Amino acid sequence: MTQHDPAVLSAALAAAESALNQAIALAPHSHQELNTLSGTLLGVEITSLDLTLYIELLTGTELRLMSHCEREPNAFVRGTLEDFGALATSDDPAATLINSGIELHGSSTSLITLQQVISRMEIDWEAPLVDVLGDVMGHQIAQGLRRFFRWGDGARASLKRQVSEYILEEGRLTPPKAELEHFYDAVQSVAIRVERAQSRVEKLLARAATRGTTQ
């Protein structure tokens, strides 16, 4: 149990739950995939916020967020907010799960499947806009939003690439990946050779000591 006021936590969870359920409702392609996870309970402990919450997938169209749950979760993950951010945005969640500081208890399958469903989720903004604004205006605004999000995705990818290029090529702030790997290999090779030399020295010392005692 966390030290947070349960009412404050309930408010945050109620808002998040409502937003997530609305997003799911607007992503009909995800319903079938989410339905395969029906009944799944995930526990999440965010250590940096001293917060534990549970995500229960009730059906393909509805999930429930809780701050208290007595059922054994299918998977329980513990980590910092940064760790979960990295997992949520990762292209390879399995690798991120293994390499990050996230601690996992239970089955990772449901967790990875959920992450993949969320990352593939395509929210159709047009339906609610058309309901409120009518066919013509709703469609125009939805098209504008789609263009904006596409531009945002492209801009983000481009920025990531350019920042990476600047750090590597222009600023020479970090070495290229291949150079770094070569350096790690060389260090490992030196370490192995030093270990061999050390064992040889130890052998020679042992032999010298035996000769000293026999003379």
**5 counts as binding another protein under rule CB under 8 A:** yes
CB atoms within 10 A of CB 121: 15
Please report how close the Cβ of residue 9 comes to another protein at its closest, in angstroms.
8
**186 counts as binding another protein under rule CB under 8 A:** no
**3 counts as binding another protein under rule CB under 8 A:** no
**19 counts as binding another protein under rule CB under 8 A:** no
Query: Residue-wise over 66-98: b if at least 16 C-beta within 10 A, else e?
Result: bbeeeeebbbbbbbeeebbebbeebeebeebbe
Please report how close the Cβ of residue 7 comes to another protein at its closest, in angstroms.
4
Among 108, 105, 102, smallest CA distance to 83 is for: 102
Decide: residue 40, CB within 10 A, 0-12 exposed, 13-18 middle, 19+ buried. buried
**69 counts as binding another protein under rule CB under 8 A:** yes
Among 120, 88, 118, 121, smallest CA distance to 102 is for: 88
Candidates 25, 26, 66, 168: give the one binding another protein (CB under 8 A).
66
Please report how close the Cβ of residue 6 comes to another protein at its closest, in angstroms.
4
The secondary structure of residue 36, as a DSSP letter, is T
**68 counts as binding another protein under rule CB under 8 A:** yes
Candidates 70, 91, 122, 131: give the one binding another protein (CB under 8 A).
70
| Residues lying near another protein in the complex (CB under 8 A) | 5-7, 9-11, 13-14, 66-71
